[in-house]
Amino acid sequence: MQRCESSAILTTMSSPSFAVGDTLIYPNQGLCRITEIKSEEIAGQHLRFVTLIISETGARVKVPEHKMLKNGMRAVSDRANVDEVFRFLISDSARASLDWKKRTRDNTARLSEGGLLRLAEVIKGLQELSELRPLPPKERGQYDDARHLFVGELAAALKIPHANAEDALDITLFPVGSERPKRGIEEFQDLLEGVDDDLGDLDTADVDLPDENEAVDSDAQDKGDEGGGEEGPLSAPTTVAKSPRATAKKRAAPRAKKAKTSAAEAKKAPATRKKPATQPKKRSPPKAAPTSKSRARTKKSK
């Protein structure tokens, strides 16, 4: 198996020399363009701020110049980097880890670190894993993000349309005229050796687990205690454990009995019900409020 050393070809900006109009790659955001470089005084400190516009979203970001390298901002990859990435994609590289925690941690770090090769590592790793089993939704989203960033940078690096950039990537991953291979677990077997089983130093020999027979006996004893006064097979101590269905039936029995009696009462009820002795009185409509005319009439009559 070959493994590409990515650190050798990662494009980082050794000297912070930017100019307005330069195109950069912002990790996890993609392509952005410098629109302004300005000195400002904040809390008595003179700082140089670089204003960027992220191409895809149009969002405006203001970053202090001395923090640009720390944030992982870098120049767009050149042709040599692209060739190296395609060599990596075609090669039989190391498989992604089968431990999902390790895999997610690694991929998140690769995405935030940026770099065309790091993105290619995420894409290829998850692509090969998907040939073993379908990806979980979160990783499927991560795969899509990595692909989106990769295609954007590749298109910018080679100055080609996004559609061609994606097809250039996919020709290496999905061979023309054939299907993707189905991978077996044995291809990932060497990785399984390093996977923790999450049990740590837990040794089952040191743990006092209750004996199965003991548990059944104690259960039977409880049962015997409950039905102590009764005669017959139920009262005899048995070694058969209670099945959940049996206990459920037992619990449901009083409820069913209650339901039966209430239904019988309901049947009887109409016969014994008496009619009310008197009809309820009808409500008379509310009297209209006296108007000014009616008031005048009453005054006259007085």
Partner 1 sequence: MIRIVPLDEFDPKLLSALAGSLYAAFGVGAEVLPQLGVPDSLPRPYNPTDLVAALPPVDSFPDDRILFLTSRELQPRALPSGSAPTYGLSHYDGRFCLLSIASLGEIKADNIRRLTRFAMQEIGHAYGLHHCLDPRCAMYAHWTKSFPTGDAIFCTFCREKSEQRIRQVKA
Give the footprint of partner 1 on this chain (CB under 8 A). 56, 82, 86, 89-90, 127, 130, 134-135, 137, 140-141, 143-144, 147-148, 151, 158, 160-164, 166-174, 176-180
Both structure tokens of 110: 């690769």
Q: How far is the CB of 76 from partner 1 (least distance, A)?
A: 15
Contacts of 30 (CB under 8 A, 6+ apart): 54, 55, 56, 148, 149, 152, 153
The residue (of 57 and 294) whose beta carbon lies closer to partner 1 is: 57
What H or E segment, with its residue span, contains residue 80?
helix 79-90
Give the type of residue at 242: K
Report the run of H or E that residue 163 belongs to, with start and end: helix 162-173
Give the nearer residue to partner 1 in terms of CB position, either 107 or 127: 127
Residue type, 79: R
Looking at the Cβ atoms of 62 and 162, the one nearer to partner 1 is 162
In the bound state with partner 1, the residue whose beta carbon lies nearer, of 71 and 93, is 93
Nearer to partner 1, 29 or 63 (CB): 29
Shortest Å distance, C-beta 180 to partner 1? 8
**CB closer to partner 1 out of 11 and 127:** 127
Judged by beta carbon, residue 5 or residue 144, the one nearer partner 1 is 144
The pair of three-digit structure tokens given for residue 267, joined into one six-digit string: 């049947």
What is the residue-wise DSSP string for 21-51? Answer: T-EEEETTTEEEEEEEEEEEEETTEEEEEEE
Measured from the CB of residue 257, what is the shortest distance to partner 1 in angstroms?
49
Position 244, amino acid: P
Which residues, in sequence order, are CB contacts of 275 under 8 Å at separation 6+?
A: none
DSSP state, 19?
-
The dihedral built from the CA positions of residue 65, 71, 76 and 77, taken in this order, carries a sign that is positive
CB of 124 to partner 1, least distance (A): 12
Report, in Å, the least distance between residue 96 CB and partner 1: 13
- Give the list of residues 6+ apart from residue 177 with CB closer than 8 angstroms, or none: none
Q: Shortest distance, CB of residue 233 to partner 1, whole angstroms?
A: 55
CB of 172 to partner 1, least distance (A): 5
Q: How many CA atoms lie within 13 A of 71 on its CB side?
A: 20
Cα(234)–Cα(211) distance, integer angstroms = 25
